[in-house]
Amino acid sequence: MSAPAFRDLFIWEWRHVGRSPLLWSIVFVLLASFTWGAATTAFKHDQQTAALERARADDQALIANIAERAVAYRAKITEDAGQVAYWQDPTNVAGYSEYFVRRHALKPHLPLSPLATGVSDLAPSRLEIKLNTPFGFNDTYDFENPRGLALGRFDFAFAVVVLLPIGLLLLCALLITFERDRGMLRLVAAQAVGPRRWIGARMAAILAWFIPAVLLAQVVALAIAGVPLGEVAAPLGVSLVLTLLYICFWSGIALFVLARQPTAGAALGMFGAIWALLIIGLPMAVSALVATFDPPPSAIEYVDAQRRVRDEIDAQRDALLTHALGARPDLAAHVHRATSLDYATRLSFLVPEIERRLSPQRVAMEHHRVRQERVALATGFLLPTLGTESSFAALAGTDPERQRRFEQAAREYQQQLRACVYPLVQAEITRPPTPPIRETRGRLNLPEPLDLPEFGMTERSNAERIRNVLPFALWLTLVAAVISIAGWRRADQWQVT
Amino acid sequence: MTALQLDSVSISFGPLHAVADLSIQLRPGEVYALLGPNGAGKTTTLNMILGFLRPERGSIAVAGVDALTDPLGARARIGYLPETVMLHPTLSAIENLTYFALLAGRKIDVTTARRLLDEAGLQSSAHERHSGSFSKGMRQKVGVAIALAKQANLLLLDEPTSGLDASAANDLSNVIRTASSRGIAVLMATHDLFRVKDVAHRLGILRSGQLVEERDAATLDPVALEQLYLQRLAS
């Protein structure tokens, strides 16, 4: 007589596990969680997409309004028409530069965005770009993601990273410890089967049901959330592989604990401790360490620095403008006009000076942000829970790195606009300060509104996005394999005495 | 070939010598009763034979297979009946039997399962019932069927009649006799002197891990057996 074949044992276990109400209850709860998480994220992203459309429509309406105003300002005026302020005049290049150059930088959501909320509920996906806003846009939101290393909102990624392990561990703990808790383990152990084959067959049977059910639930949840599955086949496939590897990681932990055949209570206690450590304890500890050893630059200090620099600039305004005109060969002959420049023209010289003086603080903030991203990346490798969530966000396009590139693109876009408009504004210094042509209301030094460039952001391709998460996927494969092998080796003898 | 060979087997738990220098030999078909009070080392002996505990000294062979170097091979030749048989409550007697037979490396069909359950004395009407509703005696019978399904060379019975009514205990005695007649050796650890006299060929008395008496059961009547047992425990 020989030991039972693994295949025969697996088939019996597979049939038996498939009849377990516990399995289907857990799968149903996970399906509901996945669907809720993906649908709420999709709902939020739909609202954001609608806001992007409104911003786009606002831009078009402003352009149309400027064109309409320009026509009115070019028209002959009536006898009783009075003067108009220059900032209302789109044919005055200075007023146009300050009050009519306004565009939105938009970051559209990717089709797979319901996979993870990422930073999309914290960082804006539309930024208003004006010429003279220091550093591109008003960063009135929190740059730091306070949940980058913590739990996050109840989205699909949360359901996978946090809830899925609970379901899997519960299933393994209750189904694999059943014989011990029922007092059957001695009878099992007295047969011609070793603990590795017995536990392995049951674990394989659980996973043979659990993995397809969970992956199917993932696809169904994303489909319900409106993800066009055909369009995102490749990243969706990678997200399924990540979920599979994440299940393997936790099943490896389950195997490691259950290899010593504990009671259900002991196994659940151990699983609870491991879960809390990996999901809550270690991320919080890393977060605390990072905050202690590399605290973010103070936002209050930055606001104070902005106020201080603006006060300095105001105090030194005339001197700065005189120096700026004198330093430019094309404007040096007009230094005497430095004190009589209009507000918008002054800003074209002073705002770059404000940015120059604030740049140390700004660079420090940017560097801290990049360091945080690196720490988060490294922590993702140490803690597969965080790594999996980050990888989902990267595939969904809601990751901090894409947000940072969007903000960089917004800043570059502002520089592009300045390159178009500032030379025209500053060229007016060389011309005589003629009063408005009396036949029209307009200044007419900008006869037609400028055809300004549109905002553009270079998006990473799906292939690049996938390439970015591959190192983590490979690492997770390795970690899952090592833990599973360790668990397998640990199940070397029956614990029945 | 002997069905079971224990040579100078010893094991300690810290300062406690649980089993000391124990040697027992069972021929095929022989029924051996291991008597002794609680803590005498009976279950520890069974655990060592089953490979659940590794002796510090000595050797154990089951039907010629070294239980220390090949515990799985040895277990494949052992049918084991624990003191309290617990079964999958949501499975029927037949399904339980099929499962445990599978664990023993044997695939049996429903007909074979019914025959084995009949041999073990489980009434036919219980074959398809979920074992969650079974009494201890009925579960014990399924346990016997599991042991028989294995077609083992050696049956290990741990307090097999504990908690059974007289009828169920008698059924078990019949099963032991049948097994013996088929050449299966039986080692039973028990307190039940009456049952020992009824079915055993030989008996050994364990005290504090040592075999202090070994007798041919036929040479003792029940009263003499009881006196010998009490005498050996007292001395």
pLDDT tens profile A177-224: 999 999 999 999 999 999 999 999 999 999 999 999 999 999 999 999
User: Chain A: nearest CA to B163, how far in angstroms?
Assistant: 16
Write down the residue that tokens 């420090």 correspond to: A364
pLDDT (average), residues A49-69? 93
Structure confidence at residue B222 (pLDDT): 83
Tell whether A15 is within 8 A of chain B (Cβ).
no
pLDDT (average), residues B189-217? 90
Contacts of A186 in chain B (CB under 8 A): 52, 80, 82
pLDDT band at B164 (very low <50, low <70, confident <90, very high): confident
Q: What does pLDDT average to over chain B?
A: 92
Residue A82, pLDDT > 90, answer no
Residue closest to B202 by CA, chosen among B185, B186, B214? B214
Domain count, chain A: 1
> Which residues, 6 or more positions from A203, have their beta carbon under 8 angstroms from its beta carbon?
A172, A176, A251, A254, A255, A258
Tell whether A186 is within 8 A of chain B (Cβ).
yes
pLDDT band at A1 (very low <50, low <70, confident <90, very high): low
Task: Report CB contact under 8 Å: A184, B89.
Answer: no
Contacts of B86 in chain A (CB under 8 A): 182-184, 187
Task: Report CB contact under 8 Å: A4, B76.
Answer: no
User: Chain A: nearest CA to B58, how far in angstroms?
Assistant: 20
For residue A436, the 8-state DSSP code is P
Q: What does pLDDT average to over chain A?
A: 91
Q: What are the phi and psi torsion angles at B105 (to 5°)?
A: 90, 15
Task: Report CB contact under 8 Å: A189, B88.
Answer: no
Comparing alpha-carbon positions, the chain B residue that sits nearest to A8 is B102
In a domain, A334, yes or no: no
Sheet order of strands, B65-66 included: B16-26, B4-13, B57-62, B65-66
Quickly list DSSP for A99-138. II-EEEEE-PPPTTGGG--TTTTTS-SEEEEETTSTTSS-
Residue closest to B182 by CA, chosen among B5, B6, B31? B31
Across A157-171, A292-306, A472-486, least confident range: A292-306
In a domain, A384, yes or no: no
In a domain, A239, yes or no: yes
Contacts of B78 in chain A (CB under 8 A): 190
Identity of the residue in B52, B84, B87 whose CB atom sits nearest the CB atom of A494:
B52
Residue A170, pLDDT > 80, answer yes
Cβ–Cβ contacts within 10 Å for residue B212, how many?
Answer: 15
Indicate the SS3 state at residue B185: strand
User: Chain A: nearest CA to B223, how far in angstroms?
Assistant: 35
Tell whether A187 is within 8 A of chain B (Cβ).
yes
User: Chain B: nearest CA to A211, how far in angstroms?
Assistant: 25
Task: Report CB contact under 8 Å: B85, A1.
Answer: no
For residue B6, the 8-state DSSP code is E
Structure confidence at residue A22 (pLDDT): 96
Residue B37 to residue B229: CA distance in whole angstroms: 10
Whole-number percent of chain A with pLDDT over 90: 78
ipTM: 0.92
In a domain, A362, yes or no: no
Tell whether A12 is within 8 A of chain B (Cβ).
yes
Comparing alpha-carbon positions, the chain B residue that sits nearest to A185 is B86
Contacts of B84 in chain A (CB under 8 A): 183
If phi > 0 it is left, if psi is from -120 to 50 it is alpha, else beta; for residue A57 that is: alpha
Tell whether A10 is within 8 A of chain B (Cβ).
no
Residue A79, pLDDT > 80, answer no
pLDDT band at A81 (very low <50, low <70, confident <90, very high): low
Task: Report CB contact under 8 Å: B100, A194.
Answer: no
Q: Which two tokens stand for residue A296?
A: 């973010």
Task: Report CB contact under 8 Å: A192, B75.
Answer: yes
pLDDT band at A433 (very low <50, low <70, confident <90, very high): low
Residue A268 to residue A172: CA distance in whole angstroms: 9
Residue B193, pLDDT > 90, answer no
Task: Report CB contact under 8 Å: A191, B88.
Answer: no
Burial of B186 (C-beta count, 10 Å sphere; 0-12/13-18/19+): buried
Contacts of B143 in chain A (CB under 8 A): 187
pLDDT band at A151 (very low <50, low <70, confident <90, very high): very low
In a domain, A373, yes or no: no
In a domain, A369, yes or no: no
Report how far apart, in Å, the C-alpha atoms of A444 and of each of A173, A343, A439, A451 are. 80, 18, 11, 16
Contacts of A8 in chain B (CB under 8 A): 102, 107
pLDDT band at B153 (very low <50, low <70, confident <90, very high): very high
Contacts of B72 in chain A (CB under 8 A): 3, 192-194
In a domain, A342, yes or no: no
Structure confidence at residue A147 (pLDDT): 43
Give, to the nearest 10 degrees, the angle between helix A384-396 and helix A462-490.
Answer: 160
User: Chain B: nearest CA to A268, how far in angstroms?
Assistant: 21
Report how far apart, in Å, the C-alpha atoms of B75 and of each of A98, A378, A408, B72, B188 are. 90, 49, 70, 5, 16
User: Chain B: nearest CA to A251, how far in angstroms?
Assistant: 23
User: Chain A: nearest CA to B180, how far in angstroms?
Assistant: 20
Pairing of strands B185-190, B16-26: unpaired
pLDDT (average), residues B110-129? 94
Residue of A175, A186, A198 to mutate, testing the B interface (most B Cβ within 10 Å of its Cβ): A186
Task: Report CB contact under 8 Å: A497, B52.
Answer: yes
Task: Report CB contact under 8 Å: A198, B103.
Answer: yes
Structure confidence at residue A142 (pLDDT): 45
Structure confidence at residue A309 (pLDDT): 96
Task: Report CB contact under 8 Å: B103, A193.
Answer: yes
Task: Report CB contact under 8 Å: A2, B76.
Answer: yes
Report how far apart, in Å, the C-alpha atoms of A407 and of each of A136, A455, B151 are. 8, 11, 76
Structure confidence at residue A146 (pLDDT): 46
Tell whether A467 is within 8 A of chain B (Cβ).
no
More confident residue, A440 or A495: A495
Tell whether A496 is within 8 A of chain B (Cβ).
yes
Task: Report CB contact under 8 Å: B88, A188.
Answer: no
Give, to the nearest 10 degrees, the angle between helix B110-120 and helix B136-149.
Answer: 120
Write down the residue that tokens 């050994």 correspond to: B204
Residue ranges making up the domain that contains A494: 1-294+389-421+454-497
Residue A149, pLDDT > 60, answer no
Residue of B86, B150, B155 to mutate, testing the A interface (most A Cβ within 10 Å of its Cβ): B86
User: Chain B: nearest CA to A266, how far in angstroms?
Assistant: 21
Write down the residue that tokens 């038996």 correspond to: A16
Pairing of strands B210-216, B202-207: antiparallel
Structure confidence at residue A71 (pLDDT): 86
pLDDT band at B66 (very low <50, low <70, confident <90, very high): very high
In a domain, A299, yes or no: no
Comparing alpha-carbon positions, the chain A residue that sits nearest to B152 is A1
pLDDT (average), residues B99-128? 94
